[in-house]
Amino acid sequence: MAKRRIGILTGGGDCPGLNAVIRGVTKTAINRYGMEVIGFQDGFEGLIENRFKFLTFEEVSGILTQGGTILGSSNKANPFAHIVIENGKKVVKDVSDETMQLYEDLDLEALICVGGDGTMTIAGMLAEKGANVVGVPKTIDKDLEETDTTFGFDTARLVATEAIDRLHTTAQSHHRVMVVEVMGRNAGWLALESGIAGGGDIILIPEIPYQIEEIFRVVRQRGRFGKRFSIIVVAEGAKPEGGEQVINKIVEDSPEQIRLGGISHIIADQIERETGIESRVAILGHLQRGGTPTPLDRILATRFAVKAMELVEQKKFNEMVAIKGNEIVSVPIKNVMGRQKLVPLDCPLIDAGLSVGTNFGIKM
């Protein structure tokens, strides 16, 4: 009798805790259920291009603390919109039928897709074509619906907070405004939480368009009260009232074509011109996505992995594992597809920030 077999892939950008999920899925599959595990390389690209390998118990031992993913990842691959070169031109093709054929040829009982909103959307579309899919939520942005948090966020929040802590001393020593730009795309969770934790004086998030005059006012006011420096934490997706987000570049062959970034330079230049206070920028960028995951992320990733395998065993497919309170649950992937969880204006953290004097770029 052939062994039962599952597949796993890590889609989207890299993120602390991915290897912990791969380890958790593989060890649980082998230890508890006697299954074989196939790892698709570079996310959905491996599924498209027939690139995969069998994962053994030995291969995943020792990877719990490693950042990144031993399988590789891709934030461009999409079986429903695969870009190929024909006659020197880029052509978009739907190769989902071919990927489904590979899924069937490998006799997979299920495909575990680890990723963010883009990955969950593609996974849901494969489920509609007949694949048995289980999603595991990953993103440093914490912008996935139906789950309180995602693994990877805690590590990114720690990195951002430590950076803000370090910048405090140089800002205070040189009497500067330091503008710290963090990731998050259209969601302000990372800026909000690291900004609160790091004691940011001004926090700018996409959900609250800022007024540049209000930022000038706060910086000047701090100076009048003897605070000759300011820390501004800005999400890459922040935008001025009535204005647009700053686009760093367009990646045409990616499902997520717009790459945000650079708003911090604009704000710093405006502050320096208007107030005469020297202003500097620190864009944390991919530092937030790399390195060793925190214990919290390792534990959450492991719990998610075990739950994903339980869903496979229960034949409860087309679900995404999630955390609600301290309980690991599952939700239909269709409830997550094409959605982003943004910071609500009544978020308790915003109220807490206002209570301790944090400014959010507008009068509130």
Tell me the catalytic residues: 141
As a whole number of angstroms, the distance between CA 275 and CA 219 comes to 8
**Which residues lie closer than 8 Å to 24 by C-beta, 6 or more apart?**
301, 302, 303, 304, 305, 306
Q: 327-332 and 319-324 as β-strands: parallel, antiparallel, unpaired?
A: antiparallel
Helices (H), 148-211: 153-174, 189-197
The secondary structure element, H or E, covering residue 202 is: strand 202-204
Q: What is the token pair recorded at 142?
A: 């914490």
As a whole number of angstroms, the distance between CA 175 and CA 196 comes to 21
Question: Residue 120: which of 202, 32, 44, 234 has the closest Cα?
Answer: 44
Tell me if residue 344 falls in helix, strand or coil. coil
Tell me if residue 132 falls in helix, strand or coil. coil
* Burial category of 206 from C-beta neighbours within 10 Å (exposed 0-12, middle 13-18, buried 19 and up): buried
Q: 36-40 and 5-10 as β-strands: parallel, antiparallel, unpaired?
A: parallel
Torsions phi, psi for 137 (to 5 deg): -80, 120
As a whole number of angstroms, the distance between CA 354 and CA 360 comes to 8
Question: Residue 182: which of 212, 157, 211, 155 has the closest Cα?
Answer: 157
| DSSP string computed for 146-165 | TSS--BTHHHHHHHHHHHHH
As a whole number of angstroms, the distance between CA 182 and CA 117 comes to 19
As a whole number of angstroms, the distance between CA 348 and CA 154 comes to 18
